[in-house]
Structure 1
Amino acid sequence: MNDRAWLIEEDLYSPEKELYWETVFALSNGYMASRGAIEENHFRPEVKSYFGTYAAGVFDKYNKEYQAIVNLPDFFNTDVRVNGEPVRMKRGQIENYSRSLDMRGGFLRRKFDFVSAGKGHKTRFEVTRFISKADPHLAVLHYAVEPLNYDGEIRFDNVLDGNITNIDFHVSGYQLRDEKYHFIDDDHEVRENKDGGGLLVRTKVTKHRVCEVIRCELREDGALKEPKTSNTVKKRFLSHGASFPVRRGKRYSYLKLVSVRTSRDGGADLFLACNSHSAKASQKGYERLLSEHKAAWEDAWKSADIVIEGDERDQRNVRFNIFHLIQMGNKNDPRVNVGSRGLTSEMHYGNCFWDTELFIMPFFIYSDPAAARALVQYRYLTLPAAREKAKKLLFKGALYPWMSSWPGHEQADYWEYANIAVHIVSDVIYGLMNYYRATGDDKFMLECGLEMLVETSRFWESRLTWSETRKKYVMNVVKGPNEYAITNNNTYTNWGCRSNLTEAVRMLAWAKKRHPKEYKALAKKSGLKDKEPASWTKIAKAIFINYDKSRDLYIEDDHILEKEPVDIKELKPGKVITTELGFTWDTFLRLKIVKQADVLLLMTLYRPEFTERQLRNAWKFYEPLTLHDSSLSYNTHCIVANELGDVKKSDGYFQQTARLDLEDVMENVFLGIHAANAGGAWQCVVNGFCGMRMAENHLEFSPNLPARYKSVRFRVAYRKNQYEVLCEKKKVSIHLVRGENPSLKIKGNRIET
């Protein structure tokens, strides 16, 4: 596979596509992020750009109850002038343009020749930026400059502008309109010096402090030079200017180092911390900083890469999704989760959903278990807020929020999600158990997981209702994964509830027998009574599951069979999601449609509990009803179709998943990377084409590759070991890369305990 499989390239600049590229080229290290807007576009109001700079966990309130991730000053904001003329990406003035994302090295590079409008002076630029994976607080912008046919002067203005806003998605919806939120307070601080300076801003309500310090240096043919500098200070604004003479044939290097700290990091003097940090980075120099960053990315790719032999387009698309997944991970901070668009936009206000546990976390479980642990720990640390929510709604235990950010209070301001999409609770527990089975992390289970199981089981016990008619426990007024229904007894929700209760009983029995000291501590802390697990067992056995025995078919809910049939292709003729076509919500509620995988998702998650015949029957019934109005849908259909032997259809759904953002399948990538879909692309290959399944005590692979593929190779972490898996058509080869657990054995297509 050649190096182009690692590159995402733009070879012709088009202002009309700038929003698309800003998402595709977004950079992050999990601590902070910046959309890929061209540095000089801040000075081009005629170009529609969506400037976004974020620090994980920095949110502010847009009303009393709800909060949004805050758009911060863009530290890459730079104005460049050649002999007083602004450098702009304009037709007629730009030659030899290219911009490329190097996914292997984790950096963005732009090359172009700028031709002055008047005298035809030509300047060659190579602009490289990265947000360091080796140092979470560091961002770097480097200009390599060469005047080709003139002597003159070049000026850089490095801007930190706190007069920025957030998008009001309540009004904007899936568009970028002018309605804004203002989260940056008037209270701010600017400090300046000859090499740069810094800006400290505060959020209005949450009082987070964010400090950004820039330190700049100039070199001519490698030798340090002193430019003429000046600073402009205004309200919430600093511009550090540097101008210097240039001569044809000489090469110039202009480096901007950015240090970022927030009050979430601790420490009283953020300026002091940033200045000290940037000084140390300056001593290393650009080449070493880039080398360390690339080495950190190389290490990440060793565990996360999927190598596809046979289709370069698929290879690039899959790597693109994995690249953005890697950027979303933050193993060092369990107080943050992965928002629906990662750190690439403010969509859904930066909050996380059930997406994390089902679609994003699996990637980290098998490639970076420490990052997965942080995501599970987020749910443990937000248990107090989940308890508060349950109590507010007159339930017991813990009801996890549909939409959340630290400290875990409900952020969905629409009742049909916040209050009745309760499957989020069992989804969180599914994520916990998925992590535990793959890692064998007894310490986390004993210290955190058991308490989560107890509190969620208490919720389910209070949420169920005994039906005298059915002589079963039922779940009324819920919204399952098919969000175009408000119904009773959604099978996905009831099944997840039953699994939650069963897992709680099983794990408590394990702890009581194997770890009595920890069990007693848990019982004391949570007030667990001996009768509770017994009650949960009784309830679990009596939960109503909607099943038509005559058709061997699991029915989605109590109402779907009675709804009005509709022609799916007529209802949704193109790519745009149906909710954007002007229909009212009551229309969706009365039609026999499925927004996204529901029963099929259930069967994928709990695969050993269903027969192949039941899976096939569900596929025949639900697949024709599914609109795929969500990025959470295609990957499940890919996995199911592959298992049922329809590789062509499976491949079709894989293409929708893998291409979704890079090829803008849903025409909304300007709103950010679909984080769950990125995880879904990984699942399509690993769980779909390569057939990876995890049972209680083993991991197995049953490949069914597309005909054009020669092989698929990837690594998985399992029970403290790492394995390399090679799938070739129907053949599987597994070998141990490194490990601490000698009890695991490779037996054919299995890794067994």
Structure 2
Amino acid sequence: MVGTITEHGFNKEQIEFFGSKFLIGNGFLGYRGTLEEYTKHELVACTLSGLYDQNGTKWREPVNAPNPFFIVAQYNGEDMSVLKRKPAAHMQSIDMQGAVHSRQTTFDNGFCIASRRFVSMADKHVMAAEYTVFCEHGGDISLNIKIDSDIWDLNGPHLENVSLNHKGGVFVYCANTIELKEKIVVAQKAVSAHAEVFETGSGFVIQKAMSSGETLTANIYAAVYKSSDEDIENCESAAIASVNASARLGFEKLLAANAARWQQIWDDVLVTIDGDKEAELALRYSTYLLLVSTPFHTSHVAIPARGLSGQVYKGAMFWDTEIYMLPFYCCCLPKTARNLVLYRINTLEGARRKAKEYGYRGAFYAWESQETGDEYCTEYNLNDIFTGRPIRTYFRDKQVHISADVVYGIWEYYKMTGDDEILLEGGAETIFECVRFLYSYSYFKCDKDRFEILDVTGADEYHERIHNDAFTNVMTKKALEAAARVIEILETKYPEKLANIIEKIDYVKDKKAIDDFKNKLYIPSPQKETGVIEQYDGYFKTEDTTPRELKKRIIKKDEYLGSPNGIAVNTQVIKQADVVLVTALFDKDYTLDQKLANFNYYEPRTEHGSSLSTCIYALAAVKCDLLDYAYKYFMRAAHTDLSGDYKLYAGDLYIGGTHPAANGGSWMVAILGFGGLRAYEREVSFEPKLPERWKSLAFRMYCQNQKFEVKIAHGSIILNSFACNTKEITFVIYGKKHKMQPGAAQTIKY
């Protein structure tokens, strides 16, 4: 049993939060955790993965489909809605085992509503709901069911040429997107074994005079298709056929098929923490939220910054994917990790277009990337909360580390999987074009005989247009090293194919120059006296204060603290981990004293204004042997979407929703941090440091396409190699090598 997340009681103030908290989905679409009687005013959303639209000059964002699960129950002519009548008891839950949303509501007149719904992981187009009412005292019942086409959009509307037709017991909604004219179809069918189902001009109605203690159940089957779906000639016919097939199978069989597919996934990703059920549940919930937004079906999109919980951040993919999420997939779901890497390869042309737009060569990846890889981050991304005027920000222009992050992701995937084909299918070309851009962007200082990277925005984000940002420079160095290693690998294994790649992108002359760039790139180093790395040139000259003191200067609650005019700009207060992100990811490059010095310096100066921050401080704390700190920050990260302790607004910009980066980051802390997992090209190492309260940490993992079961306890590791494995893998436990043959099991003391 994976676990259930449950909330009791009804509070209108929590509607937005619960919509995110109880999200269901299958990676093709996400359906917010709203109640059946809710409308766009309660932020109902059925968000489609990979389908974007722009209405005029508004921001381009993912398309929300109409809601096929709108139901209002009437009892003796009165709407039984939590929005109109306060419930005597109310419960909402998610059974994470199969991503099933449930609600139970009892009103003071004895009328009860119980529902279950899911988005099928077995068939990406299928949705199903079961809606049951119970009448304690008897009376006239009416269930009004329709496709609600009054859609919540942040920058819409996005659909035109709308029609609603009734065909053979199925309601079919059809529309086209405004920008690309893509067709969307939502089909709906309602059935009931307890009463006749009537069809009106806009939906289904089920009516019954019920006796005391009687129940009435309706099953609603829905299907969502779009014209770009692969292997679909007519999405309207496909949607109708789908709901009719679902109705023939019935709710329970559909649920069983969904549960079976979810079980296959959980078999690979479930983490067990003996001795800490709270941490275990929080980590599993974090994993669940990643999975419902995972595009298992395609390599043409990745995971948006707010998952599939809505249209926030334009539904765009950020650096979050490579740094915070990809490690989970590389370890547990390598086929899906491959899709995420292929997304960057597939959008290489968009990155080339962006580099050319700014006058550079190579591939400058989008800060906010959508399906084509073009840049959809606007120049004016926020509004001044005092004047209402747009603020010029430099997220899209100056966060050049994104191209280095893409290289990092490809290389980490390669180390874990040994997948040569990914390099030959565009991975090597992508890496070479990214480092070509970084070289093109850099400056050579003749008097210092070194390359520098100037006028950037680093991981911190509050401080824009700075010089020699530590994270940017280090990530660039790592990208250059990865590019050099890829050349070595391909020269050894596939020399002709390497020659073809180099010829195709005219890389011969650049190769020598980029080697020089790698050798002479300036890397900010720990100061001799303190061991602290300066985050960027001149950082130590800014005002030294703390987030608590800084926030005393806040005039309006949601004012943005960062560049260009925020109160943090001329101070050492940072939004999220920057230097500490470097020491966490590349801890072997620094001594323990240096890691401690940087943790102790930057931790009190970090505002944690992003959900990306606490997980990295947890990971860094493990590397510093500060396990109490690490556990505290781990629990904060893993509870991000459970507690709702996150910012809803940046200035006046709504940024609510789920937080996949924090979800993936929580897994990183547990497995890469406390578990001590690290991948090299030909082997895997473990240096565990479990929290004292954890008796053991158990999980499954893949390495070089081989599957293993791992159980880490204090002082020992049990490794099981699955019998289906085909080759030997070397595990290094605190420096000692242990070879694992297929089907073997070892208990190793450390």
TM-score (ref. length: structure 2): 0.91
Q: Which residue of 2 aligns with 1:106?
A: 99
Assess if the C-alpha contact under 8 Å between 2:43 and 2:152 holds in 1. Answer: no
Cα drift, residue 729 of structure 1: 2.4
Aligned residues: 716
Q: Partners of 1:577 and 1:139 in 2: how far apart?
A: 43
Q: Cα deviations across residues 489-535 of structure 1 (Å, max 9, x unaligned)?
A: 11211122222222212212321221123223323432332x43222
Indicate yes or no: 2:478 matched with 1:499: yes
1:368 to 311, 316, 333: 333
Q: How many Å apart are 1:423 and its aligned residue?
A: 0.3
Shift in Å, 1:583? 7.7
Deviation of the 1:202 alpha carbon = 1.4
Which of 54, 70, 79 aligns to 2:72? It is 79
Residue in structure 2 matched with residue 127 of structure 1 by the alignment: 115
**Does the aligned pair in 2 maintain the 1:700–1:751 contact within 8 Å?**
no
Q: Tell me how far 1:95 sits from its aligned partner.
A: 4.2
Indicate conservation of the 8 Å contact 1:196/1:240, yes or no.
no
Report the CA distance shift for 1:389/1:133 in structure 2 as closer, same or farther (over 3 A). Answer: same
2:196 aligned to which of 226, 229, 252: 226
Task: Call closer, same or farther: CA 1:575–1:40 in 2, change over 3 Å.
Answer: farther
- Which residue is 1:662 aligned to? 642
User: Are 1:211 and 2:185 matched, yes or no?
Assistant: yes
Contact 1:215 1:278 in 2 (8 A): yes
| CA deviation profile, 1:61-87 (whole Å, cap 9, x unmatched) | 144595111222112211222333222
Change beyond 3 A, Cα 1:588–1:433 = same
Correspondent of 1:436 among 400, 411, 414: 414
- Cα offset, 1:751, TM superposition: 6.8
Look up the equivalent residue of 1:534 and give its one-letter code: K
- Point out where structure 2 has 5 or more consecutive residues left out of the alignment: 380-392, 650-654, 741-750
Partner of 1:624: 604
Alpha-carbon distance, 1:211 to partner:
0.4
CA distance in 1, matches of 2:480, 2:592: 25
Matches within 5 A, 1:279-290: 279-290=244-255
Question: What is residue 725 of structure 1 aligned with on the other side?
Answer: 710
Task: Kindly provide the amino acid, as one letter, of the partner of residue 696 in structure 2.
Answer: S
Partner-residue secondary structure (3-state), 2:643:
coil
Quote the Cα distance in structure 1 between the aligned partners of 2:469 and 2:724: 42
1:577 and 1:666 in contact (8 A); partners too: no
The question of whether the paired residues in 1 share the 8 Å contact of 2:546 and 2:573 is answered with no
Alpha-carbon distance between aligned partners in 2 of 1:113 and 1:78, rounded to the nearest angstrom: 16
Cα pair distance change 1:409/1:92, threshold 3 Å: closer
> Which residue of structure 2 lines up, in the alignment, with residue 189 of structure 1?
163
**In 2, distance between residues paired with 1:578 and 1:498?**
39
String of CA shifts for 1:349-402, please: whole Å, max 9, x gaps. 111110110001111111111111111111111111111111111101111011
> Separation in 2 of the partners of 1:279 and 1:434?
45
Asked whether the 8 Å contact 1:687–1:693 carries over to 2, the reply is yes
Secondary structure of residue in 1 paired with 2:569: helix
Q: Are 2:657 and 1:672 equivalent residues in the alignment?
A: yes
Which deviates the most, 303-312 or 473-482? 303-312
CA contact (8 A) 1:734 1:746 kept: no
Query: Does the 8 Å CA contact 2:196/2:207 hold for their aligned counterparts?
Result: no
**8 Å Cα contact 2:462-2:561 kept in structure 1:** no
Find the partner of 2:219 among 255, 279, 291: 255
Q: Deviation per CA, 1:677-698, whole angstroms, max 9, x where unpaired?
A: 1111111211222222223332
Maintained 8 Å contact 1:331/1:373: no
Taking the aligned partners of 1:114 and 1:482, their CA distance within structure 2 comes to: 49
Which amino acid letter does the alignment assign opposite residue 626 of structure 2?
D
1:547 Cα deviation from its structure 2 partner: 2.1
Cα displacement (A) at 1:620: 2.6
Identify the residue that residue 385 of structure 2 maps to in structure 1: none
Structure 1 vs Structure 2 CA RMSD: 2.5
Deviation at 1:554, TM superposition (A): 2.9
Aligned to 2:436: 458
TM-score, scaled to structure 1: 0.90
What's the CA shift for 1:156? Answer: 2.1
Aligned to 2:534: 555
Matches within 5 A, 1:412-491: 412-414=377-379, 416-485=394-463, 486-491=465-470
Residues 484 and 147 of structure 1, relative CA distance in 2, 3 Å threshold: closer
User: Residue in 1 aligned with 2:387?
Assistant: none
CA, structure 1 residues 664+721, in 2 after alignment: closer, same or farther (shift >3 Å)? same
Choose 727-736 or 396-405, whichever is displaced more.
Answer: 727-736
SS in 2 for 1:333: coil
Corresponding residue number in structure 2 for 1:695: 680
Per-residue deviation at 1:747?
5.8
Seen in structure 2, the aligned counterparts of structure 1 residues 247 and 737 have a Cα distance that, compared at 3 Å, is farther
What is the SS of the residue equivalent to 2:282?
helix
The superposition leaves residues 23-55 of structure 1 with CA deviations (integer Å, 9 ceiling, x where unpaired) of 10111100011111111123xx9xx61111111
Residue 96 of structure 1 and its aligned partner are, at CA, apart by: 4.5
In the alignment, structure 1 residue 243 sits paired with structure 2 residue 207: yes
The alignment partner of 2:247 has SS state of helix
Contact 1:703 1:731 in 2 (8 A): no
Give the match for residue 740 of structure 1. Answer: 725
Aligned-partner residue type, residue 554 of structure 1: I
Post-superposition CA distance 1:175-211 (Å, at most 9, x none): xxxxxx32222x1222214633110121111222110
Give yes or no for contact 1:23–1:36 (8 Å, CA) kept in 2. Answer: yes
- Counterparts of 2:430 and 2:691, CA distance in 1: 41
CA contact (8 A) 1:73 1:160 kept: yes
Partner of 1:591: 571
Equivalent position SS for 1:38? coil
**How much has 1:740 moved relative to structure 2?**
3.4
What's the counterpart of residue 46 of structure 2?
Answer: 53
Cα separation, partners in 2 of 1:735 and 1:553, compared to 1, 3 Å:
same
Q: Against the structure 1 CA distance between its residues 751 and 716, is the aligned structure 2 distance closer, same or farther, given a 3 Å change threshold?
A: farther
- In structure 1, distance between residues paired with 2:69 and 2:400: 42
- Cα deviation for residue 675 of structure 1 reads 1.2
Counterpart AA for 2:621: A
- 694-703 or 304-313: which moved more? 694-703
CA–CA separation in structure 1 for the residues paired with 2:582 and 2:444? 23
- 1:22 lines up with 2:39 in the alignment: no
Task: Check the 8 A contact 1:365/1:438 in 2, yes or no.
Answer: yes
Q: Residue 543 of structure 1 corresponds to which residue in structure 2?
A: 521
SS of the aligned residue for 2:409 comes to helix
CA distance in 2, matches of 1:194, 1:693: 57
CA deviation after TM superposition for structure 1 residue 738, in Å: 5.3
2:744 is aligned to none
Q: Does the 8 A contact of 2:587 with 2:623 survive in 1? A: no
Judged with a 3 Å threshold, the aligned counterparts in structure 2 of structure 1 residues 579 and 143 are, in CA distance, closer, same or farther, namely closer
